[in-house]
């Protein structure tokens, strides 16, 4: 996978050169976008605190072990480490919260662990279904969502399974 190391630098080079080619004020726009990045990072602090707090308590109390122990046979059946379970639960509910879950997994299991890779792929390959549903339907006053939630959760579930299978194939 030597090629993958090139993707990000090439992308950065490409975006900047393309911007220059299209005569975009590269520096000004970069700074403008960067400001947004900072405010987003600050905005998610309370969500991070709440989620990390909950997970830390959950883990320290031993409740995590109990649940992982209960779910382990099911996960073992698919060959997926049960530690990724919190990500699967939190991901459809809250975006900033799942950043917290991921950060916590990195701290506990290390960045190079398969667990973290699966969780990160889960994070990257699905969206905050309930949030999107609430925002989009809320904006147009739809109260009967018919099958939108079901379809969204089916998509999430397939994404999780696919993420696990793909990561175990690549890194396991």
In angstroms, give the least distance from the CB of 115 to another protein: 13
Task: Calculate helix-pair angle for 148-171, 129-139, nearest 10 degrees.
Answer: 150
Residue 53 or 78 having the CB closest to another protein: 53
CB nearer to another protein: give 76 or 150.
150
Question: What is the sign of the dihedral through the CA atoms of 24, 28, 29 and 31?
Answer: positive
CA–CA distance, 84 with 144 (Å, rounded to integer) = 32
Nearest-approach distance from CB 49 to another protein, in angstroms: 4
CB 85 to another protein: min, Å: 14
Nearer to another protein, 18 or 78 (CB): 18
Q: How far is the CB of 95 from another protein (least distance, A)?
A: 7
Instruction: Between 62 and 73, name the residue whose CB sits nearer to another protein.
Output: 62
Residue 30, both tokens: 């970069």
Q: How far apart are CA 22 and CA 32, in angstroms?
A: 18
CB 122 within 8 A of CB 158: no
């Amino acid at each position: 996978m030597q090629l993958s190391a090139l993707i990000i630098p090439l992308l950065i080079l490409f975006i900047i050169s393309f911007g220059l080619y299209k005569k975009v004020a590269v520096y000004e726009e970069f700074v403008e976008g960067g400001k947004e990045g900072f405010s987003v990072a600050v905005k998610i602090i309370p969500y991070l605190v709440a989620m990390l707090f909950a997970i830390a308590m959950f883990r320290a109390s031993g409740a995590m072990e109990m649940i992982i122990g209960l779910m382990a046979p099911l996960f073992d059946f698919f060959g997926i480490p049960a530690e990724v379970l919190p990500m699967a639960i939190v991901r459809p509910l809250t975006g900033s919260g799942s950043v917290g879950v991921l950060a916590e997994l990195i701290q506990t299991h290390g960045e190079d662990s398969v667990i973290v890779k699966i969780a990160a792929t889960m994070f990257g390959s699905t969206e905050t279904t309930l949030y999107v549903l609430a925002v989009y339907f809320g904006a147009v006053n739809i109260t009967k969502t018919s099958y939108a939630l079901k379809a969204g959760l089916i998509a999430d579930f397939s994404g999780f399974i696919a993420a696990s299978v793909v990561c175990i194939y690549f890194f396991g």
